[in-house]
A and B are shown apart, each in its own frame.
Chain A
C-alpha cells in the first residue's frame, strides 16, 4: 500500500481551492481504482469461497440435492473423531519432511556444482535437468506403475540380479509413502535447481575469489560463503515445501495409490478431495478445508515470526562477523 503516498505539493493560496480539493479526492481514489481489479479477483476467488466453505462446513449436503440440513459442529466432530483425517494430517507432515531434502540440500548441491563449472555443456545439462518439470504428471505416474510392478517391473527385475527383493514398492504400507516422496521429489528437485541457480546468480563471484585467495578449500568456500549467501533462497524453498508438499504429491497419489494401502500414502488434500468428490460429503470436506486453512495459517504465522523477528536478530549478529548478507 506504499503506492498511496504521493507527495502533497499543492501550495496554499493558489487560485481554485475547489480544484485542489477535487485533485486531493482524485488522488485518494486513484490508488483504489488501480487496486480494484486485483481486489475484486481476490474477493471473488479467495474470500468468497473461504466464507462459503466455512458456511458449508456447518451443513450436511451431498452437492446434488437441495436438502441441506444444519449440522452444527457435527462435521468437525466427525472430521476429528474418525481416524482418517488425523492420520492424513500426520502423513502430510511426513510428506513435508520427506520432500525437504529434495527441495533444499540436493538442488542446492546440484546448482552449486553447475555454478562452479562454466563448461560448454552446462547449458545443455541445465536444460536436461529441467525436463522433469515439464513432463505431464499423469503419464509420468503411470510410467512409474510399470517400473514399480512388484513381479514384472523393471526395478525389481534389476534388483533381483543383485539378490534383492521382490519389494512391494506401492503395495506395502512401509514403503509406499517414501516411493511417492521420491517420485514427487524428482520434480521438486528439478524446479529448485532453477531457483537456486537464480539465487547464485545474485552472488558476486568476488567473494568466492577472495576466499580462495585466502586459502579456503572448495568445501570451505561452499560451506562458509555460498550456503550462507543462499540462506534466503533456502528459507523460501523450505517454507514452500512444507506448505505445498501435500499438494505436489496429489497427482502421484491419485494415479498410483489412491491414498492406500490402508491410508499409508494419504494426505489432507487427497482426503479432502475424497470427501468432496469421492463420497460427496460436502460438509465434511468443507470442515477439512477449514482445518487445512487454520493449520497452514499457523504455519505461515510461525514463518513470518521467525523470518521477521528472531532471524533478523540472528542475521544482524551474523553480519557483524562479515558472513551473512
Chain B
C-alpha cells in the first residue's frame, strides 16, 4: 500500500510539474538572431506575414490572399509566406514566435494591442526601414488620425493598414415587417430601443438589436465610442482610467438597459453575428469590417442597410476607430527591404481597393475613393460603405492604457465591466466603481 501511495504521489508531482514546463521552457531561448539568407540586392527573398485577416475564414482570408497574389506577380523575387490567427490570438502568437527566435517579418496587429506590442516585440520603426522621402511619399494623403495611431514619440512606427468605425447594420426587411420606416434608421439609443422592441414583438425568433461592445477579441473600441458619445472619455488627460465617471456609467447603463428591457439578446458576439446573418436580428452595431461578409449573407435573404453610430440624445455621436497597423520585425536587411516593398503595396491605392472591396474595411486615402480605377465605381454600386466612410473624417482618436499591464487592464474592462453589465445584469454604477479601482491598480503600477 505504501508503495502504491508513493507511486501516486510521484505521479501527482509529475502531473503538477508538467504545468510548469510550458512556462519554464521559454527560459532557455536566448536572443536568437535571424541569419542573413545571403540574399542581397535583387536575389529571391521570402518573408513571413502574420495577419489576423488572413486568419479569418471566408472573405478576410480570400482578400488577403488576393493582395499577396497581386504583389508576388509584380515582384517575382519576393515570396510572401502568410499565416493567420484570430484577432484575439495574433499578439500572443507573434510574441511566442519572437520568444522562440522566429519572429515574423511583418505582423498585422490591432491598435488596441499596440502598447503591448511596443513593450514586448522587437519592432523596427517604419521610419528606420525606409528613407524619409519614400515614407512621406507613401503616407501622403493617408487619414491623419490613422497616421497618429502608428506614430510613437514623433516617429512613424507602424504603417496604418486597415480601419473601421462602428456602424449600425440593419435588416430593412425586418423593419418593414415591424411597420418601421426602413429609410429612417434610429439615430439615438432611445430610438434603437423602441425599434428593437417593435421588431422583437414580431416573434418567430426575431430579436431587436445587438451592440458588439462585449466582443470576443476583447477590443474596447465600441466601449470607448459609447463613452465618447456620452460626453466623456475612458482615459483622463493624465492617463488615469475614469470608468466611474457619469459619462462612462451612462454608457454602461444604456447597454444594460437594452439587455434588461429585452431589446437586446444576452448572447455572445459569435451568436449575434450568426443571428444577424440568419436574418433574425433587426440591428447590429459593430465594426464596418463585417460589411463584406454580412452583405454576402444578406444576398437573396434580406435587405441590408447601414447607418452611422446612434447618439445619446442630442449629444453628437463620437465614434473612435478600430483597425490595425503593419509592424515590421525583420532583422535581416534584405528582408526588411522586401517587407517595406510589401507594406508599400498593401497601403497603396490598389491595395486599399482590394481591402475595401473584398474584406470590408474603409479606405484610408481620398485618392482611393475618387479614382475611377480604384473605388470610384465600386462605391456608387455599394453605397452601404458611405455612412462609415463619412464618420472617418470626424473620428475621435482611440485611447490606450499605459504601462506593462495595459493589455490586462483592457481585458478586465471588457470582461468585468462591459460584459458583466451587458450580459449578466450587473449594476452599472457599482461595477464601474469597482472595476475602475482595479484598472487604476493595473495601469498605475508596474
Residues on A facing B (Cβ under 8 Å): 45-46, 48-50, 52-53, 55-56, 60, 62-66, 83, 145, 149-152, 168, 170-173, 236, 239, 243-244, 247, 260-263, 269, 272-273, 276-282, 285-286, 289-290, 292-293, 296-297, 299-301, 303-304, 307-308, 311-312
Q: A152, A244, A276: which contacts B275 (Cβ < 8 A)?
A: A152
Is the CB–CB distance between B415 and A263 below 8 Å?
yes
15 A-B pairs, CB-CB below 8 angstroms?
A45-B21, A46-B14, A64-B98, A64-B120, A64-B122, A151-B265, A243-B16, A261-B419, A272-B23, A279-B405, A281-B405, A297-B16, A300-B13, A304-B6, A308-B5
Known contacts A62-B404, A307-B1; A278/B92 CB under 8 A? yes
Extra inter-chain contacts (6) besides given A152-B275, A289-B19, A293-B19, CB under 8 Å: A46-B13, A60-B404, A63-B95, A277-B92, A292-B20, A297-B13
Contact with A along B10-48 (1 / 0, CB 8 A): 001111111111111111000100000000000000000
B373 at the A/B interface (Cβ < 8 Å)? Answer: no
A145's closest neighbor in chain B, by CB? B270
CB-CB under 8 A from B20, the residues of chain A are 49-50, 53, 286, 289-290, 292-293
**Closest chain A residue to B423, Cβ basis:** A171
Task: Tell whether, in the assembled complex, residue B207 and residue A151 are in contact, meaning their CB atoms are under 8 Å apart.
Answer: yes
Within 8 Å by CB of B267, from A168, A263, A272, A281, lies A168
Which residues of B pack against A, CB within 8 Å? 1-2, 4-6, 8-9, 12-27, 31, 92, 95-96, 98-99, 116, 119-122, 205, 207, 265-268, 270-271, 274-275, 278, 280, 404-405, 407-408, 411, 415-416, 419-420, 423-424, 426, 438, 446
A56-B27, A152-B275 in contact; A49/B17 too (CB < 8 A)? yes
Q: Which residues of A contact B420 (CB under 8 A)?
A: 261-262
Q: Given A272-B19, A293-B20: A299 and B92 within 8 A (CB)?
A: no
Chain B min CB distance to A62 (Å):
5
What is the interface of chain B mostly: helix, strand, loop, or mixed? helix
Tell me which of A170, A244, A276, A303 contacts B23 (CB under 8 A): A276
A-B pairs, top 3 by smallest CB distance, nearest first, are: A304-B5, A49-B24, A289-B20
The answer to whether A296 and B26 have CB atoms under 8 Å apart is no
Tell me the minimal C-beta distance from B398 to chain A in angstroms. Answer: 20
Bound CA–CA A293/B18 (angstroms): 10
Inter-chain contact B24/A62, CB cutoff 8 Å: no
| Chain A residues near B5 (CB-CB < 8 A) | 303-304, 307-308
**Within the complex, what minimum Cβ distance (angstroms) separates B360 from chain A?**
23
A308 and B1 CA atoms in complex are apart in Å by: 6
Across the interface, do B266 and A171 meet the contact criterion of CB distance under 8 Å?
yes
Q: Which of B16, B23, B116, B271 contacts A56 (CB 8 A)?
A: B23
Q: In the bound complex, what is the Cα–Cα distance between A149 and B274 (angstroms)?
A: 10
User: Known contacts being A49-B25, A50-B20, is A303 close to B404, with CB within 8 Å?
Assistant: no
Chain B positions within 8 Å of A49 at CB level: 17, 20-21, 24-25
The CA of A85 and the CA of B29, in the complex, are separated in Å by 27
Bound CA–CA A236/B7 (angstroms): 11
Name, among A60, A279, A281, A307, the residue most crowded by chain B CB atoms within 10 Å (CB to CB).
A279
Report the minimal beta-carbon distance from A148 to chain B, rounded to whole angstroms. Answer: 9
Provide the residues of chain A in CB contact with B446, threshold 8 Å. 60
With most chain A CB atoms within 10 A of its CB, the pick from B2, B23, B205, B426 is: B23
Q: Would B19 and A64 count as touching, CB distance under 8 A?
A: no
Determine if A280 and B27 form an interchain contact, defined as CB atoms under 8 angstroms apart: no
Query: Once the chains bind, are A301 and B9 in contact (CB under 8 Å)?
Result: yes
Bound together, the chains give a CA A297 to CA B1 distance in angstroms of 19
B269 nearest CB across to chain A (Å): 11
Set of chain A residues within 8 Å of B98, measured between Cβ atoms: 64
Within the assembled complex, what's the spacing in Å between the Cα atoms of A52 and B98?
20
Residue of B nearest to A280 (CB): B95
Whole-angstrom distance between the Cβ of B235 and the nearest chain A Cβ:
20
B27–A150 CB distance below 8 A: no
Give chain B residues whose Cβ lies under 8 Å from the Cβ of A52: 24, 27
Query: How far, in whole Å, are A312 and B92 apart by their CA atoms in the complex?
Result: 50
A212 to B4, CA, bound (A): 33
Contact indicator B12/A299 (Cβ below 8 Å): yes
* Contact flag A62-B119 (CB < 8 Å), given A262-B420, A272-B19: yes
Complex contacts, B407 vs chain A, CB 8 Å: 279
Question: How many angstroms from the CA of A28 to the CA of B225 in the assembled complex?
Answer: 75
Complex contacts, A168 vs chain B, CB 8 Å: 266-267
Complex Cα–Cα for A249 and B347 (A): 43
Does A276 contact B95, Cβ atoms closer than 8 Å? no
B27 to chain A, nearest CB (A): 5
Cross-chain contact A281 with B408 (CB below 8 angstroms): yes
Question: Closest CB of chain A to B80's CB: distance in Å?
Answer: 24
Cβ-defined contact, B13 with A261, below 8 A:
no
In the complex, chain A residues whose CB is within 8 Å of the CB of B12: 243, 296-297, 299-300, 303
Q: For the complex, give the distance between the alpha carbons of A277 and B122 in Å.
A: 17
The docked-state distance in angstroms from the alpha carbon of A171 to that of B265 is 11
The residue that B92 contacts in the complex, of A50, A151, A280, with Cβ under 8 A, is A280
Q: Among A150, A269, A289, find the residue whose CB has the most chain B CB atoms closer than 10 A.
A: A289
A296 & B16 in contact (Cβ 8 Å cutoff) = yes
| Distance from A180 Cβ to chain B, minimum over Cβ atoms (Å) | 15
Q: Is the beta-carbon distance between B23 and A285 smaller than 8 angstroms?
A: yes
Q: How far is the CA of A53 from the CA of B17 in the complex (A)?
A: 9
**Chain A residue nearest in CB terms to B14:** A46
Contact of B121 among A48, A64, A290 (CB under 8 A): A64
A239 to B15, CA, bound (A): 12
Residues in chain B near residue A280, CB distance under 8 A: 92, 95, 116, 120
Q: A260 to chain B: which residues have CB within 8 Å?
A: 415, 419
A48 to B411, CA, bound (A): 33
Tell me the bound Cα distance from A301 to B9 in angstroms.
Answer: 7
Chain B residues with Cβ under 8 A from A279's Cβ? Answer: 405, 407-408, 411
**Most chain A beta-carbon contacts within 10 A, residue among B19, B404, B420:** B19
Which chain A positions have C-beta within 8 A of B25? Answer: 49
A173 and B424 contact, Cβ closer than 8 Å, known pairs A149-B271, A151-B205: yes
B95 near A150: Cβ-Cβ < 8 Å: no
Residue of A nearest to B442 (CB): A82
Q: In chain A, what residue has the closest Cβ to B272? A: A151
